[in-house]
A and B are shown apart, each in its own frame.
Chain A
Amino acid sequence: MKWFEKIGLGLFLIGLTIFTVIPFLGTYTLSEELVLANTKDIHKEKMAEILALMYGQEYGSNFSFLSSFGENFNTYNDNLKAQQLWDQVIWDDYGFALAKAAASSPVTENPWLWLGLSIGLAVLGGYLYNFRQYAEEPAGIKNNGTFHSKLKNRGWLGMITGGYLILFYILLYWFPAYLVNLVWMVEPISRMLSGGPASQWFLYGLVYTLAILVMGVRMFRKYRGNKYQQLRTASVMFFQTSFAFLIPEILVLLNQPYFDFKNIWPLDYDFFYDYQISTFLSGGGMGMFMLIWGILLIIVGVPVFTYFYGKRWYCSWVCGCGGLAETVGDPFRQLSDKSLKAWKYERWIIHSVLVLAVVMTVVTIANYFSGFSFLGNVTNQLHSFYGFAIGSAFAGVVGTGFYPFMGNRVWCRFGCPLAAYLGIVQRFKSRFRITTNGGQCISCGNCSTYCEMGIDVRAYAQKGQNIVRSSCVGCGVCSAVCPRGVLKLENGPEENRIIDLPIIIGNDSIKLNA
């Protein structure tokens, strides 16, 4: 390791440690004013009363504050539930808002400093570590030691990384109130961008974008000499930074609805939810444009682009989940399961999620047009089930937390309903395929090993068969790691794209299907 790599790694670890410690700093003090200021009109009075016991008390940690909050709040709700007074129960969760308001810590006082010490150091360290990687070596494939690594081969470092990510996602989705110090830390940036306060989602978006940018630099270094990988990486870095992160914030600053122009239903599963629709409809010309744009992407953009280029145009060039997988997740791509059994599970699970997303959306729309009289309750339950099981647990906790265990495309491969939709188009109506170079395959297995989608690429290549698979995201790494120049991602005529019984060229004695 070069000296700046060591310093980089050190800074990254310091930054990460400080980031991890920040939620536990400071104290929490609640007052009636804060409660009144942070609750909905209909709850103001009640909440002020419920929490009265907490006023003026200084809590030494988020644990003690949130447990006291939970006690008071739940006592009230449980009482009502026991009496079956459902309409008086307060269903809103004010934990995050009140914890954020009550927090007082070095971080809330000096957010820029702490931002620099945590995320800033981690980003700087990550960049230092990455920016000169492999500088001494000629350009080429850099997978040396992947399976000897403690991180990349499910070693102890991988277990710790996975555990950390899983814990972070659980807190982010279900216990954000514990993270309010971190949210305070990014508050000034949020104020600058959108003019509004930061939420846990803003924190997440910022960290996510920076992670893609820093690890994107690693991709540039690792795939030096491979223009396809370089451009693809630059593309996901661009779309994440602008479309997913900056533009939606700036839209809010301009009093427009928050909208990610590249997010497509059914990945964007709440696109047709009633609150989204009403946001669009009340958003003037821009809102209407967003609604029409979103629908056009679904019914025109996906089939047309996928017909010409395969699903890679989205999954490995544009998508945010793909962007994270292809940068932060790249060190783990070899951990995907290539067995036939895994492929069977994959097809059942991903298409079930697609069916679920479609059914949920159809019910949602029917409910909307019937003036919320059709299956209103079912719609709500479907939404909360989908949001919990698919949107949060599957896409987030499993999707990213499992990088070090099952590879970087767990969500994309097994769960993403948009990937399923793109995949159906790619399999049945597309010009995209991976071509095999005649008889040159030596069955070495590099392609299959480094396929993040768990496609057994070699099984096709050694038969001289084109690879046409719904799951292929066109990352191009099979082609990059092939030592014999056998694989090429191509768009071409549909004729002879799928060959069921290929014959390998080179043997004039006989013609046998490989």
Chain B
Amino acid sequence: MSTRHLVIIGNGISGITLARQVRKLDSETRITVISGESDYFFSRTALMYVFMGHMKFEHTQPYEPWFWEKNRIELKKAWVQKVEFGAKTMVFDSGEKLTYDSLVIATGSKPNKFGWQGQDLKGVQGLYSKQDLELLEENTHQGVKRAVIVGGGLIGIELAEMLAYKKIPVTFLVREKGFWDNVLPKEESDLVGRHIREHHIDLRLETELKEILPDSSGRVRSVLTSKGEEITCELVGLTAGVSPNVDFLRNSELNVNRGVKVDAFFQTNIPDVFAIGDCAEFENPPATDRRNIEQVWYTGRMHGETLAYNLCKQPVPYQPGIWFNSAKFLDIEYQTYGTVPSTWDEGEVKSFYWEHSSGKVCFRMLMNASGQILGVNNFGFRLRHEFFDQAIREIWTGEKVIAKLDKANFDPEFFASYYIEIQKAFKAQFGGNFQPAKKSFIQKLFGAKV
């Protein structure tokens, strides 16, 4: 293979996975990764832990600095101003230029702003990038007596937790009836809502942001809500989702809609130009339960893996496997495997739901009309990915899944054996020809109580 020059814009999980995998498959290609955000790849999801003092920023970097040189992955710190696709050249904000043979756009997302009055005031910000984190540190350095967070998703609750660390009281405006209830079924959404309030966060459901009001110096003074209330605050966090970070590519030959339009091979409308990760918008969703923009860490990684293979071996279409995801809501961990939408047709889908008396641990399994598993949600305890990947792929019956649930348990040793309770509850509700697991002697002796 000739020494083509592969240039990747963006050093997030998609771009870096691509660079690493290309290097593994092909030692010839010259690889350059461009980022204006940071010197080295870091885990975006870990920014909150830097703010809360769990880690230093360098701890979020999965590879030591020597890794890049050793693997001949050139890093360039710059912002790309525009790309001249005809000349296969990009222009940096310094005016400097770089030419490529193949270009991959992996520029991720930016926080949504919906044209609210006052959304660009001082003290109003989103939380996505390293720069956002630095801005947040500056904005919360002193004098913040209350913060308002707008938008009840994963970033919103992270921001709430971060501000709670600084002992800043938080009012959390959520448009929907329940926290993240476009993704979570009602019971799960309620469970998280209760936990948010347990942390003294002022959760306001069915409340929207109307307007952000300034003080005389152009800083935020207060917000007006859809319920007509004015809340005095010194910080506003805009966390109502993210959208592809592709503005610098608009008004060019590249086909850009919400994101960069790609086919199943991550190919854009321009030859040798590809897009992966959060910023890519598929012509058709990759699977029936997927959207055409995938904004998750894991999908970004899979995009990178797949495109690397396509660039070095042969073109294969992107085909994600069984869906999985995870998050942590303050102290409560959440995992999901397969398809569990927020609502379903009672006639076609059977739901089994179990909740622990603490109200902080729950399990849901959806089954089709013939009782076969569609997916699970679990909160407050851990379940094994491999187990559910297999169970859903092989379309096990719900009964079989529950009967083997002890094999799926991924909680540390001596933790409460919730799976036994779940098995009993399932048997009571749906029947089934299995015996709930028994506690081992050691568990009886030392294990935590359910």
A residues contacting B by CB (< 8 A) are: 138-141, 143-149, 226-228, 231, 339-340, 435, 437-440, 442-446, 448-449, 458-459, 462, 476, 479-481, 483-485, 488-489, 504-510, 512-513
Docked-complex contact A476 and B322, CB < 8 angstroms: no
A481–B45 Cα distance when bound, in Å, is: 14
Contact of A339 among B64, B386, B412 (CB under 8 A): B64
A510–B330 Cα distance when bound, in Å, is: 35
Docked-complex contact B324 and A458, CB < 8 angstroms: no
Q: Is B198 an interface residue (CB 8 A)?
A: yes
Docked-complex contact B60 and A445, CB < 8 angstroms: yes
Cβ of B387 to closest chain A Cβ, rounded Å: 9
Cβ of A244 to closest chain B Cβ, rounded Å: 22
Docked-complex contact A147 and B54, CB < 8 angstroms: yes
Q: Tell whether A506 pairs with B59 under 8 Å between CB atoms, given A146-B53, A147-B54, A443-B13.
A: no
Contact of A505 among B326, B330, B386, B410 (CB under 8 A): B386
Contact of B320 among A145, A488, A506 (CB under 8 A): A506
A485–B324 Cα distance when bound, in Å, is: 13
Which of B54, B165, B328 counts the most chain A CB atoms within 10 A?
Answer: B54
Write the chain B residue with the least CB distance to A491: B413
Contact of A227 among B316, B326, B335, B448 (CB under 8 A): B448
Collect the chain B residues with CB atoms within 8 Å of residue A437's CB. Answer: 382, 384-386, 410
Q: Is B415 an interface residue (CB 8 A)?
A: yes
Q: Tell whether A505 pairs with B412 under 8 Å between CB atoms, given A139-B331, A448-B59.
A: no
A479–B318 Cα distance when bound, in Å, is: 32
Docked-complex contact B333 and A483, CB < 8 angstroms: yes
Docked-complex contact B54 and A439, CB < 8 angstroms: no
Docked-complex contact A149 and B64, CB < 8 angstroms: no
A245–B322 Cα distance when bound, in Å, is: 55
Q: Is B317 an interface residue (CB 8 A)?
A: yes
Write the chain A residue with the least CB distance to B305: A512
Interface bin, chain B: 35 or more
Docked-complex contact B306 and A510, CB < 8 angstroms: yes
B residues contacting A by CB (< 8 A) are: 13, 21, 24-25, 43, 45-46, 49, 52-56, 59-62, 64, 165, 195, 198-199, 297-298, 301-302, 305-306, 308-309, 316-322, 324, 326-328, 330-331, 333, 335, 360, 382-386, 389, 410-416, 446-448
Write the chain B residue with the least CB distance to A503: B305
Q: Which 3 pairs from chain A and chain B are nearest by CB?
A: A438-B385, A140-B331, A485-B382
Contact of A438 among B25, B324, B416, B446 (CB under 8 A): B324
Docked-complex contact B335 and A445, CB < 8 angstroms: no
Docked-complex contact A438 and B384, CB < 8 angstroms: yes
Contact of B333 among A144, A145, A459, A485 (CB under 8 A): A485
Write the chain A residue with the least CB distance to B333: A485
Docked-complex contact B302 and A445, CB < 8 angstroms: no
Collect the chain A residues with CB atoms within 8 Å of residue B25's CB. Answer: 512
A506–B298 Cα distance when bound, in Å, is: 8
Write the chain A residue with the least CB distance to B378: A485
- 13 sampled A-B residue pairs with Cβ under 8 A: A138-B195, A138-B198, A227-B447, A228-B414, A442-B43, A443-B46, A444-B46, A446-B54, A479-B412, A485-B326, A510-B316, A512-B21, A513-B24
Collect the chain A residues with CB atoms within 8 Å of residue B13's CB. Answer: 443
CB within 8 Å: A-B pair count: 167
Collect the chain A residues with CB atoms within 8 Å of residue B411's CB. Answer: 488
A442–B62 Cα distance when bound, in Å, is: 10
Q: Tell whether A488 pairs with B382 under 8 Å between CB atoms, given A509-B306, A510-B316.
A: yes
Docked-complex contact B317 and A484, CB < 8 angstroms: no
Contact of B324 among A339, A439, A459 (CB under 8 A): A439
Q: Tell whether A440 pairs with B326 under 8 Å between CB atoms, given A145-B53, A147-B55.
A: yes
Cβ of A139 to closest chain B Cβ, rounded Å: 7
Contact of A140 among B54, B306, B327, B330 (CB under 8 A): B330
Docked-complex contact B165 and A228, CB < 8 angstroms: no
Docked-complex contact B410 and A231, CB < 8 angstroms: no
Write the chain A residue with the least CB distance to B162: A144
Write the chain A residue with the least CB distance to B386: A438
A382–B54 Cα distance when bound, in Å, is: 44
Docked-complex contact B53 and A446, CB < 8 angstroms: no
Docked-complex contact B53 and A143, CB < 8 angstroms: yes
Q: Tell whether A445 pairs with B389 under 8 Å between CB atoms, given A147-B56, A485-B410, A508-B319.
A: no
A148–B199 Cα distance when bound, in Å, is: 22
Cβ of B311 to closest chain A Cβ, rounded Å: 12
A138–B191 Cα distance when bound, in Å, is: 14
Collect the chain A residues with CB atoms within 8 Å of residue B330's CB. Answer: 138, 140
Collect the chain A residues with CB atoms within 8 Å of residue B384's CB. Answer: 437-438
Write the chain B residue with the least CB distance to A148: B53
A488–B327 Cα distance when bound, in Å, is: 17
A363–B165 Cα distance when bound, in Å, is: 58
A353–B63 Cα distance when bound, in Å, is: 30
A447–B35 Cα distance when bound, in Å, is: 26
Collect the chain B residues with CB atoms within 8 Å of residue A510's CB. Answer: 305-306, 309, 316
Docked-complex contact A227 and B446, CB < 8 angstroms: yes
Which of B53, B199, B317, B383 counts the most chain A CB atoms within 10 A?
Answer: B53
A340–B66 Cα distance when bound, in Å, is: 10
Collect the chain B residues with CB atoms within 8 Å of residue A444's CB. Answer: 43, 45-46, 49, 55, 60
Docked-complex contact A226 and B55, CB < 8 angstroms: no
